[in-house]
């Protein structure tokens, strides 16, 4: 099970069985699902996906996946996992359209990157974003992701691969450098 993560306005926790209806509602919202995986799925597929979080992902400790909550309500989904597509760890996140434009996407993405660099001790964290998803591309650019390549999808669409790198500290740097005693 992934650890709980806190940001100033969000709480990321493992899913509970009681989250199924909110999870399905989030993934059934076409404004959200159009940017996830292969796009909108039948409700039965989203319910099966929710079940696999418990039967496979959590049971086998495959990767970290969270319910994203604000004020006790499930408002999103987040994960970080190793994928062959980027040959590294990729962050995945989705928020309810009701909270779009409030800065919560930035807060969530920054928390996932910090978890990747801090807890997982990764040198790089990746994201894949459809070229048309301009809001996510801008958000990731603002927090330090850079475009490294494009993937041409089977349907002819383009997916951007973006990477954020941990800034290595110089062996001679000191947290006290420049300070007077």
Q: What is the pLDDT of residues 107-152, one digit of tens each?
A: 999 999 999 999 999 999 999 999 999 999 999 999 999 999 999 9
141-152 as b/e: b if 16+ CB within 10 A: eeebbeeeeeee
pTM: 0.88
| SS3 at position 30 | helix
Q: What is the pLDDT of residues 44-99, one digit of tens each?
A: 999 999 999 999 999 999 999 999 999 999 999 999 999 998 999 999 999 999 99
| SS3 at position 115 | helix
């Amino acid at each position: 099970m992934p650890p709980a993560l806190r940001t100033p306005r969000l709480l990321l926790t493992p899913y509970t069985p009681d989250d199924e209806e909110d999870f399905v509602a989030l993934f059934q919202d076409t404004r959200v699902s159009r940017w996830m995986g292969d796009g909108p799925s039948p409700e039965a597929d989203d319910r099966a996906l929710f079940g696999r979080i418990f039967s496979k992902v959590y049971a086998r400790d495959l990767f970290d996946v969270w319910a994203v909550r604000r004020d006790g309500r499930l408002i999103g989904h987040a994960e970080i996992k190793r994928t062959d597509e980027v040959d590294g760890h990729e962050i995945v996140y989705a928020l309810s359209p009701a909270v779009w434009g409030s800065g919560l996407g930035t807060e969530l993405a920054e928390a996932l990157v910090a978890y990747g660099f801090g807890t997982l001790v990764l040198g790089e964290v990746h994201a894949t974003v459809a070229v048309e998803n301009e809001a996510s591309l801008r958000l990731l650019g603002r927090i330090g992701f850079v475009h490294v390549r494009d993937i041409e999808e089977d349907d002819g669409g383009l997916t951007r691969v973006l990477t954020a790198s941990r800034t290595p500290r110089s062996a001679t740097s000191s947290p006290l450098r420049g300070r007077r005693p």
